[in-house]
C-alpha cells in the first residue's frame, strides 16, 4: 500500500508531464500559425519579388541558455536595403492568443490573433488607449507597405 505522500507526488508528476505536453503542442500550433501568416505575406509580395524589388531572409532563433526555440523571424529586404521585419513576439500575450510585430522602418504594427484558431488582425497603438484594430487582409497590408515604400528617399 502506498503512502499519501507517494500518491500525491505521483499525481503531481503526471500533472506536470501533461502540462509540458500540452505546452509543447500549443507551441507547435503557434509555430504553424506563424508559418501560415508568413506564407500569406509572401504570396501578397510575390509580384515585387518576381521583379527583383525585394528578397526574403528567414531565421529561426533559439534561446541558447534554455535551448528553447523562440520562433521564426522573417525579414523583407528591399532593393535599397530598407526592411520590413516580422518578429513572433509570442504565444498567450496580454489580450490575445499570439502576436507578431511588423516593423516597417521605424513604424511598428502588431499583427494579433485574438483567439486560438481565430483570424489575424492588425493592431496599432497611437497613445495609451486601447489599440486600434483592423482586418489583416491584402488591401490593408498593401496600404501599409505602399506607405513605407513611399517614404524611401
CA 50 to chain CA mean position, Å: 25
**Cell 504594427, located at residue:** 109
**Whole-model pTM?**
0.79
What average pLDDT does the segment 20-38 reach? 83
pLDDT in tens, 95-144: 788 899 999 988 999 999 988 888 999 998 777 777 888 999 999 999 99
Report all structural domains of the chain as residue ranges with CATH numbers, in order of start. 4-150 (3.30.920)
Backbone φ and ψ for 68, nearest 5 degrees, come out as: -90, 135
Strands 54-63 and 68-78: antiparallel
pLDDT at 86 > cutoff 60:
yes
Amino acid at each position: 500500500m502506498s503512502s499519501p505522500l507517494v500518491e500525491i507526488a505521483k499525481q503531481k508528476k503526471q500533472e506536470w508531464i501533461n502540462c509540458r505536453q500540452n505546452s509543447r503542442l500549443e507551441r507547435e500550433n503557434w509555430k504553424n500559425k506563424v508559418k501560415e501568416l508568413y506564407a500569406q505575406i509572401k504570396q501578397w509580395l510575390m509580384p515585387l519579388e518576381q521583379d527583383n524589388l525585394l528578397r526574403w531572409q528567414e531565421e529561426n532563433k533559439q534561446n541558447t541558455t534554455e535551448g528553447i526555440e523562440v520562433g521564426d523571424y522573417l525579414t523583407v529586404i528591399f532593393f535599397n536595403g530598407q526592411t520590413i521585419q516580422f518578429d513572433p513576439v509570442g504565444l498567450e500575450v496580454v489580450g490575445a492568443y499570439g502576436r507578431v510585430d511588423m516593423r516597417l522602418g521605424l513604424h511598428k504594427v502588431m499583427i494579433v490573433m485574438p483567439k486560438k484558431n481565430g483570424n489575424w488582425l492588425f493592431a496599432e497603438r497611437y497613445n495609451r488607449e486601447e489599440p486600434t484594430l483592423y482586418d489583416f487582409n491584402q488591401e490593408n497590408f498593401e496600404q501599409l507597405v505602399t506607405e513605407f515604400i513611399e517614404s524611401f528617399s
